[in-house]
Structure 1
Amino acid sequence: MTLQMPDSYWAATAEPGDHYLALDGQLKTSVCVIGGGYLGLSTALHLAEKGVDVVLLEAGQPGWGASGSNGGQIIPGFKSERSDLIASMGEEAGSRLFAWSGSFVDDTLDLIGRHGIRCQASRAGWLQPAHSVNSFNAYEKRVAEWQAEGIEAYMLDRSEASAALGSDWYMGAYYDPRGGRLHPLSYTRGLARAAAGAGAWIFGDTLAERVEWSGDIWTVRAATGDVQADQVLICTNAYTDSGQALVPGLAQSIVPIPSYMVATAPLSDNLRKSILPGGETAADLKKLTNHFRLEEDGSFLFGGRGDLTETDDPSSFRCVTAKLAEIFPQLKDQPIAYRWSGRVAITTDGVPHLHNPAPGLWAALGCNGRGIGFATSYGKLMSDLLSGMPALDSPVPVTAVSRIPFHVFHLIGARAALWWKNRQDTRDRHAKP
């Protein structure tokens, strides 16, 4: 069955993509990559540029999943502070992971420039609004840490944030000049074209069903053919299916959460001038994050959490449209032109996971909502590891696959967690400093 692209603003406005045929028969290669999102495509591209023979299998067409449905923000760093990473991982490992995260935007924009990918990319800057006084104070800590590292981030008070965002709902914000933006589906299609042009074999509409070890080589089996490879990388992220026999426990090591987005009809000139006039993108750090951006055609894109089902039913988007009207009351009567959803892979520790459960078998996942820049850099890192870089040199530590307890109930638990996080956000917003 062919997986259909969501009817999204991105699908309606993207650069045309190439169609990749399904695998038919048997192939032998050095590396087989399973998953044709940013991470898989970046890995395949960087490997092909090194002269490594690589085959990529994608269940749909490149961009079908989260890589064609997200908010299009290129965000540096992780949600965790440098001090938090050090506290959980140790001084050396935490500092190395934090330093690596600063390369995400540069890696992405450099790759786009080098391959001439048409995806409306720019280093527009990134705003993180504070929904409460306590979160504003936490941002001050983050900005102080970043400034100590030479990052030119700075705080905006409430009036400055209101002018920058076009909303007085937030208590303030911080600005990170490193942040960027792009058209996510156009970028994915451009990555695929660049990887194929560099020599990677890309097959679409090809679901990898299982991975087998025969004593001297790995075999990836799909309905229409097999790929034999010296090494296999699984990077299906939030679309890792527990029904596939890839790596035991991998699907149960993350929580896939649906994320919703809407796009308004083009705004009037007066409204366009008042919202994000500097061209930045924005994402707050509530327990239930909202992110937003304004497009050149005047469409306003707004994302957040819905009712945890992947659907285009307008009733399922009420939480998102209600929050849009709350934060931007001037848009409460603006027609919604597009509604769509995609999955986000959440790890319990908030950082990416890298597994090497058997020689030559790798799994990389856990974007935690920061997929574009992170996954691009992660693909570059994976190409180095698959080309012989010692695992000890990786900024992302290699760990064992760890199943989340009672994962079978994750949807029930996620609904309860969303309810509780919404209560926490409301409480935090009205809490006194």
Structure 2
Amino acid sequence: MVIIGAGFTGLSTALALASRGQKVAVLEAGEPGEGASGRSGGQVIPGLRHFMKDLNAAYGEAAARRAHDFGSTAADACFDLIDANSIACEAVRSGKIQVADTQAGLADAKVRADAWQKRGAPVRFLDRDELIAATGTRGYLGGWIDMRGGSVQPLALTRGLASASRTAGATVYARSRVRSAARTGAAWRVSTANGHVTAPKLLLATNATTDALWPGLCQTFLRVWSYQIATTPLSAELRAHILPGDQSVSDTRRVLRYFRTDAAGRLIVGGKGRARTPASIDDFDFQRQTLGRLYPELADHPLEYAWGGEVCITADRLPRIIRLGPDAYAHLGCNGKGVAWCTAIGEAFAEMFTSGDERALPIPVTPLKRIPFHWLRHVYVGVGGAWLRLRDSLDAASAPTLKESK
């Protein structure tokens, strides 16, 4: 078995296959975690963003139930994998909060909390006072908390998965960018500048960093940048009211904002960045402004780190498993929920590759389908982002805003 990409999907699959006694080679263009996985927000989010009616429309009832059930247990699987392999990655499971600063967002939060409660999930709605106590910011109307969620240090998790995969018997090759992958007889020949691997089965697990290696694959999604900043460690006085319970938080805006603390007490704030690799600290103005609106007392607080990572966005915001050829698949399109989903999916891929039954996978396998006029992707991202920000602003016009929280 050959896997291209040493991120959450590739490494969790390698670990699961190697633990079954399978021979596995993982080829990574950089170092494990150097791509999207290691640069993610580190939030372990249960479930998919879609309601069951949307999943039914996309997949049909039986497949929708499978996707929903897998998503609902993905955070459990992620934390179980961390525990089983003793991965030191600052794993915290004190809940994931989604907050709302508009009446529409608040109504959505109530619907989601109620839907999960009916299915027995450990979630509850938070009114404004409860939310202020939990987060320390007054800029939101309310929200809901899902105790299945949490956070990790994503680079440490990726490196830990690489180490666990090697211990289980997989071979992980860093600095081994794949130049070609072609079917040769009954096997796949995957070549790098330094050699090649021949294997009967192939998984392409490059997600947002997918390039032109496989014709048309990078035209099935849009690549957007998410930027993050981390303050210097907060004082004990500040930590007493800023996320005192160590929950991770995201909002209901179309242009998402998210934040959490880390083990050192830094506050990490993320959100949409420019459509390129950040070039200077000036590129992080949006995140800096968000920090000040969330917590006015931190408006001038010094920053210790700033970085960016790419997110793979599909047209319908659903993940994809694409059939590339005989015993060859690509997995991409986590749409910002990759930590839980991609660490959990390794077991499903291992079962599918071992048994040959695609029903082991959480979502149906689909053929490669390009986004129409994908060459206009920069226009899509730029104009689309501006339009979404405008709609967020219009929605918030009649509701308390973060700026008013001062």
Q: Same fold (TM over 0.5)?
A: yes
Paired residue for 1:375, among 330, 342, 345?
342
Give the conservation status (yes or no) of the 8 Å contact 1:312–1:341.
Answer: no
Corresponding position of 1:95? 65
Moved runs in structure 1, 4+ residues, more than 4 A? none
Q: Give how far 1:431 is off.
A: 4.3
Q: Does residue 185 of structure 1 match 2:155?
A: yes
Matches within 5 A, 1:279-318: 279-318=246-285
Corresponding position of 1:346? 313
The residue type paired with residue 374 of structure 1 is: W
Paired residue for 1:401, among 368, 393, 400?
368
The residue type paired with residue 191 of structure 2 is: R
Give the conservation status (yes or no) of the 8 Å contact 1:54–1:200.
Answer: yes
Corresponding position of 1:261? 228
| CA–CA distance in structure 2, aligned partners of residues 43 and 312 of structure 1 | 34
Q: How many residues align?
A: 400
Paired residue for 2:93, among 119, 123, 126?
123
Corresponding position of 1:35? 5
Counterpart secondary structure, 1:117: coil
Give the conservation status (yes or no) of the 8 Å contact 2:106–2:142.
Answer: yes
Counterpart secondary structure, 1:233: strand
Q: TM-score when scaled to structure 1?
A: 0.90
| CA–CA distance in structure 2, aligned partners of residues 393 and 306 of structure 1 | 36
| CA–CA distance in structure 2, aligned partners of residues 432 and 266 of structure 1 | 32
Matches within 5 A, 1:169-318: 169-242=139-212, 244=213, 246=214, 248-318=215-285
* 1:191-232 C-alpha deviation (Å, 9 max, x unpaired): 000000110011000111111112221100111111111011
| CA–CA distance in structure 1, aligned partners of residues 60 and 397 of structure 2 | 35
Unpaired stretches in structure 1, ≥5 consecutive residues: 1-30
Give the conservation status (yes or no) of the 8 Å contact 1:125–1:177.
Answer: yes
| CA–CA distance in structure 1, aligned partners of residues 287 and 276 of structure 2 | 13
When the two chains are superposed, the root-mean-square deviation of aligned CA atoms in Å is 1.4
Unpaired stretches in structure 2, ≥5 consecutive residues: 401-406
Inter-CA distance 420–57: structure 2 relative to 1 (3 Å threshold): same
Give the conservation status (yes or no) of the 8 Å contact 2:352–2:359.
Answer: no
Corresponding position of 2:18? 48
Q: Give how far 1:391 is off.
A: 1.2
Give the conservation status (yes or no) of the 8 Å contact 1:262–1:301.
Answer: yes
Q: Give how far 1:328 is off.
A: 1.8
User: How high is the sequence identity, in percent, across the aligned residues?
Assistant: 37
| CA–CA distance in structure 2, aligned partners of residues 120 and 47 of structure 1 | 26
| CA–CA distance in structure 2, aligned partners of residues 47 and 238 of structure 1 | 23
| CA–CA distance in structure 2, aligned partners of residues 213 and 147 of structure 1 | 48
* 1:283-302 C-alpha deviation (Å, 9 max, x unpaired): 11211111111123221100
Matches within 5 A, 1:56-67: 56-67=26-37
Corresponding position of 2:325? 358
| CA–CA distance in structure 2, aligned partners of residues 146 and 350 of structure 1 | 20
